């Protein structure tokens, strides 16, 4: 990885491109009536993936960028679970048939904050409302500090087969600076419980760019994490946006690593994981060579959605819960962010859609190009444009941000085929951004490019 490019491009604020256009461009012009119409129009053979957002935690991690809140009363969580079940039935009734589901993902917040019996009830509601395939991947995000044996059993009974554990860093200095003290022993105990329950897929989330973090502390975290042999790693750069996430103001900016230091940390983690035998997948994922995600990357069938890289091929993502985002062929929808407003809509029998975006033909073309760049570090513009009835020359002409990337050796063009140079792949978001017709560089809405 070229350090000179990290200096030149690293401070840019760019989307992670888990969607295109990205969420800041959603509009309240798209509401519940529009969503209902889109659901009713889904073709007969359409399958779907489900995302359920549980916006509660026991305490706030100061680095967090998620929609969540601290809750002490379990009655609030139970009420929210009931609202989720009502929304699932409501959406299924609007579709008008029991469509097949191959992926379910619980995110948050801390999804396992629910009572075990409530989790089982929620899964039962989904299986009644949708045809959840026997081979479906059912994944749950987990805070190892609060997971109980009873919840692990509930997950097993419900068919959960993948767990994503937040680790971030095992350095106690870093942990105290981000208000997330989590020992290696706690994490190891949870991994053992999951595997004993036959929840075989285990993912770890790591973060670089945190306060007081160094290359040495990053490598020590990787060393400890490797001892637990997860199937996948997600490695994210900390996005410091205190204007949008007020709790991030608790982090002392003076001890945050600068751009070159973040670049060094990202390189060190990536190199250590690759040396341990993991395959680097796209921008920020690593997987064992026999893992389904590594296979999808090799076969060029990898996709990208709001959970990051995925093997999910469904063209429909149904989002449930406060702030949850869905994706349909017609466009994107997002639920009310505030839990109270979300619950009021559902209790009144209305879809909770607060805003969204209707896709144009140009959006679909650019979304395909951006997804292939993010997933494959390149794109066959001729092939993609042909499928959309467009001309690659016109697309390249519109991508003015591409010129300096080509001059700096980040991007190579061979006819209509674009490729990101191997030593510049950490700038893949910068390359994707060249095709983003909605990007406003003046707005600091996103995380740093490195």
pLDDT for the residue numbered 281: 94
User: How do beta strands 162-168 and 201-208 pair?
Assistant: parallel
- Annotated binding residue at 356? no
Tell me the Ramachandran region of residue 326: left when phi exceeds 0, alpha when psi lies from -120 to 50, beta otherwise: beta
Question: Across the 450 residues of the chain, what is the mean pLDDT of every consecutive 10-residue run?
Answer: 72 87 95 98 93 96 92 95 98 96 96 97 98 97 96 98 97 97 97 97 97 98 98 94 90 93 93 97 94 95 92 95 97 98 98 98 98 96 97 94 94 95 90 93 60
Tokens 């995302």, located at residue = 51
**182 backbone dihedrals φ, ψ, rounded to 5°:** -145, 115
Q: Is 57 annotated as a binding residue?
A: yes
Question: Does residue 189 have a known ligand-binding role?
Answer: no
Q: What gap in Å lies between CA 86 and CA 343, rounded to an integer?
A: 10
Q: What are phi and psi of 324, to 5 degrees?
A: -65, 145
pLDDT value at residue 45 = 87
The sign of the CA dihedral 386, 390, 394, 398 is negative
Phi/psi of residue 201, nearest 5 degrees: -80, 115
Residue 441 has what pLDDT? 67
pTM: 0.93
Asked if 317 and 53 touch (Cβ cutoff 8 Å), the reply is no
Is 304 within any annotated ligand binding site? Answer: no
pLDDT at 443: 59
What's the rounded Cα separation, in Å, for the pair 402 and 332?
27
421-436 burial by CB neighbour count: b if 16+ within 10 A, else e?
beebbbbbbbbbbbbb
Cβ neighbours for 271, distance < 8 A, ≥ 6 positions apart: none
d(CA 171, CA 177): 10
108 and 141 Cβ atoms separated by less than 8 Å: yes
Contacts with 428 (C-beta within 8 Å, 6 or more apart), sequence order: 282, 283, 373, 374, 377, 420
Residue 377 CA: distances (Å) to CA of 181, 269, 273, 373: 36, 19, 19, 5
**Is residue 64 a known part of a binding site?**
yes
Looking at residue 309, its pLDDT comes to 94
* Residue 385 annotated in ligand binding: no
Does the annotation list 221 as a binding residue? Answer: no
The answer to the question of whether 63 is labelled as a binding residue is: yes
Residues making up the chain, counted from first to last: 450
In angstroms, rounded to a whole number, what is the distance separating the alpha carbons of residues 321 and 346? 10
pLDDT value at residue 143: 96
Q: Please choose, from the candidates 394, 392, 391, 434, the residue with its C-alpha nearest in 3D space to the C-alpha of residue 410.
A: 434
Go through the domains of the chain in sequence order and give each one's CATH number: 1-18+360-450 (1.10.10.920), 19-320 (3.80.30.20)
Confirm whether residue 65 is marked as ligand binding.
yes
What is the per-residue pLDDT for 47? 93
Kindly report the backbone phi and psi dihedral angles of residue 423, in degrees, each rounded to the nearest multiple of 5, phi listed first.
-80, 5
């Amino acid at each position: 990885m070229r350090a000179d490019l990290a200096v030149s491009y690293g401070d840019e604020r760019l989307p992670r491109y888990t969607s295109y256009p990205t969420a800041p461009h959603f509009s309240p012009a798209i509401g519940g009536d529009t969503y209902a119409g889109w659901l009713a129009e889904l073709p007969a053979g359409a399958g779907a993936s489900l995302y359920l957002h549980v916006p509660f935690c026991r305490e706030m991690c100061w680095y967090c960028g998620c929609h969540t809140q601290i809750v002490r009363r379990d009655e609030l969580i139970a009420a929210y679970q009931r609202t989720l079940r009502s929304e699932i039935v409501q959406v299924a009734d609007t579709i008008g048939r029991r469509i097949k589901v191959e992926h379910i993902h619980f995110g948050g917040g801390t999804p396992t904050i629910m009572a075990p019996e409530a989790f089982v009830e929620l899964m039962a509601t989904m299986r009644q409302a949708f045809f959840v395939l026997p081979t479906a991947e059912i994944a749950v995000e987990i805070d190892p500090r609060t997971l109980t044996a009873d919840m692990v059993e509930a997950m097993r009974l419900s068919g959960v087969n993948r767990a994503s554990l937040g680790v971030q860093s095992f350095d106690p200095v870093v942990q105290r600076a981000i208000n997330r003290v989590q020992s290696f022993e706690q994490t190891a105990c949870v991994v053992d419980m999951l595997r004993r329950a036959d929840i075989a897929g285990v993912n770890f989330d790591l973060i670089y760019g945190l306060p007081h973090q160094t290359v040495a502390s990053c490598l020590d975290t990787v060393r400890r994490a490797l001892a637990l042999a997860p199937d996948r790693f997600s490695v994210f750069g900390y996005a410091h946006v205190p204007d949008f996430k007020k709790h991030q103001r608790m982090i002392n900016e003076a001890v945050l690593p600068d751009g070159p230091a973040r670049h060094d940390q990202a390189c060190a983690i990536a190199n250590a994981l690759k040396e341990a035998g993991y395959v680097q997948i796209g921008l920020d994922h690593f997987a064992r060579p026999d893992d389904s995600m590594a296979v999808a990357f090799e076969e060029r069938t990898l996709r990208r959605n709001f959970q990051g890289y995925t093997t999910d091929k469904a063209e429909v993502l149904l989002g449930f819960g406060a702030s949850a985002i869905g994706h349909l062929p017609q466009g994107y929808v997002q639920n009310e962010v505030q839990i109270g407003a979300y619950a009021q809509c559902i209790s009144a029998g209305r879809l909770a859609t607060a805003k969204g975006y209707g896709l144009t033909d140009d959006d679909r073309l650019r979304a395909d190009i951006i997804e292939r760049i993010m997933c494959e570090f390149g794109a066959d513009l001729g092939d993609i444009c042909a499928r959309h009835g467009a001309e690659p020359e016109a697309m390249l002409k519109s991508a003015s941000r591409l010129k300096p990337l080509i001059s700096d050796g980040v991007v190579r063009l061979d006819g209509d085929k674009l490729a990101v140079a191997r030593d510049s792949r950490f700038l893949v978001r910068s390359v994707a951004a060249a095709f983003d017709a909605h990007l406003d560089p003046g707005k600091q809405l996103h995380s740093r490019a490195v």
